[in-house]
Amino acid sequence: MKSRKLSRKRQRATIVTAAAASVVAGAALLPNWSAGAASVNADPKVDAATKATFQRLADAVFTDRTDALVGDDGSKRKTSRFSGDVRLSSAQSRSEKSALTKLESRKARLAELGEKYRSANTTVSLDRTRVKGRNATVDVTETTTLAYDKATGTEPKTTGFEAHHTLTFKADRKGDWQLTGVQDTDDGVAVNQVEATTFVATPMTGDTTPPAATRAAITKPAPAKPKNFTASGYDYKAMAAYAAKYWKDYNPAYPNFNGEGAGGDCTNFVSQSLKAGGWKHVPGYVNDFHKWFGNADIQSDSFVGVNEFSWFALSSKRTTNLANVYQADVGDVIQMDFNKDGSKDHTMIVTYRSPQGVPYVSYHSTNTYNRSLASIIASYPNAAYYAYRT
């Protein structure tokens, strides 16, 4: 089968994150683990102790980012505990300060939307270390949980995500390692991600007359009319249950579209959740947006593509546009266009709605469960949003 070219932006876009190597957060010089070596000019060898130091510094960087959302005044920042032979260069110090300032602003926007986090926990595991001469590349997995402040009744008590990052280090002539770059490797939206992802899009191909989604307002309105959970015949609780089960542990019955060049797994995950709640396959050609199907062997573009999903959902009448994102309820779908260029970037499914009328969403890339819509809007206030009643 010939490979297909999707128009979804995650499949065809060049992604440039604001957390790439040019924006280095939490950079520090690590202790000279090779002290006493016969020659300071020899290329350093990374031993277990050095790897552990890499991991601890990564943990400190991402914990500081998370704590900035909870209300820490900076006195407890983990990166400040690296002292003595560990130094922050002036440039890296400015970068870290800038990142935390942006997250403090996000915390303020969250408060305006009525959301606060009571506490948080971030842990980082080291997945892989590659060394070439005096350069080291370290892959890590960040797992973060934030506790919602004053959650009551059936409201989610926590939100969490799992994110992957690549850190780059460079050793000086004495063997001291310096953190030189932090790059987010997921095509996703983490609550402590420093800035929104920037996309460079390519022109759409194929059918030029797909249905257009209507942009949804993001100002919280009066409480919306409750969703009729029986009118469509779909099982919305099953959709939410599927998302709860597979938001982090992927269903092996489907391919995983994360990774370089894979396009991102957000829409694939949402389609699986909708299928679990009763959406039926519409077989046909993979590039026909009027068709919708997906399994381990083959998937339609509409099953895995952000824009193609929107075209199928509207043209099939399986969804209708909502005028405001806060109208979304369990089983409904929300999409985002980060830079408002007309091509959507990200797909999420609502897995809970609070008594106060706030939807909570779950998604892949970055793997996230029950994140409030208020948090999404506070993080990306300039994005365009689209909401679909399923």
Mean pLDDT score, 261-270:
88
Tell me if 301 sits within 8 A of 4, measured CB to CB.
yes
Q: What is the pLDDT of residue 145?
A: 95
Q: CB atoms < 10 A from the CB of 141, how many?
A: 14
Q: What is the pLDDT of residue 384?
A: 97
pLDDT tens-digit series, residues 274-321? 999 999 999 988 989 999 999 999 999 999 999 999 999 999 999 999
Q: Which residue has the higher pLDDT, 119 or 86?
A: 119
Reference 6, options 235, 212, 267; nearest CA is 267
pLDDT tens-digit series, residues 35-91? 333 334 566 677 888 888 888 888 888 999 999 999 655 556 666 655 433 344 446
For residue 33, what pLDDT band results from cuts at 50, 70 and 90? very low
Q: Is the pLDDT of residue 196 over 70?
A: no
Tell me if 334 sits within 8 A of 387, measured CB to CB.
yes
